Amino acid sequence: MRAAVLRTPAPVDSNPLQLEDLAIPVPASNEVLLKVLACGVCHTDLHIVEGELSPRLPWVIPGHQIVAEVVEPNGSSLKKGARVGVSWIGGTDGTCSFCLSERENLCDHPTYTGYTHQGGYAEYTTARADFLSVLPEQLSNNDAAPLLCAGIIGFRSVRVAEVKRGQRIGLFGFGASAQLIIQVLLAWDCKVYVSTRETQHQQFARSLGAEWVGGGTDLPPVALDCAVTFAPVGEVVIAALRSLAKGGIVAINAIHLDRIPQFDYDSLLWGERQIRSVANMTRQDGRDFLKIAAEIGLKPTVTTYPLERANEALQTIRHDKFTNPAVIVP
Ligand SMILES: [Zn+2]
Ligand SMILES: [Zn+2]
CA of 158 to the centre of ligand 1 (A): 23
pLDDT tens digit sequence for 184-242: 999 999 999 999 999 999 999 999 999 999 999 999 999 999 999 998 899 999 999 99
Q: Cite the residue boundaries of each domain of the chain with CATH code 3.40.50.720.
A: 152-277
Q: Cite the residue boundaries of each domain of the chain with CATH code 3.90.180.10.
A: 2-140+299-328
Amino acid 86: pLDDT: 98
Amino acid 287: pLDDT: 95
Domain 152-277 -> CATH class: alpha beta
CA of 142 to the centre of ligand 1 (A): 31
pLDDT tens digit sequence for 6-43: 999 999 999 999 999 999 999 999 999 999 999 999 99
CA of 202 to the centre of ligand 2 (A): 23
Amino acid 258: pLDDT: 87
CA of 127 to the centre of ligand 1 (A): 17
Q: Which ligand has the shortest distance to the CA of 44?
A: 2
Q: What is the CATH number of domain 2-140+299-328?
A: 3.90.180.10
State the number of CA atoms in the 13 A half-sphere of 123 facing the CB: 9
Quote the mean pLDDT of the chain.
96
CA of 98 to the centre of ligand 1 (A): 6
CA of 45 to the centre of ligand 2 (A): 7
CA of 90 to the centre of ligand 2 (A): 12
pLDDT tens digit sequence for 42-70: 999 999 999 999 999 999 999 999 999 99
pTM above 0.85, yes or no: yes
CA of 27 to the centre of ligand 1 (A): 22
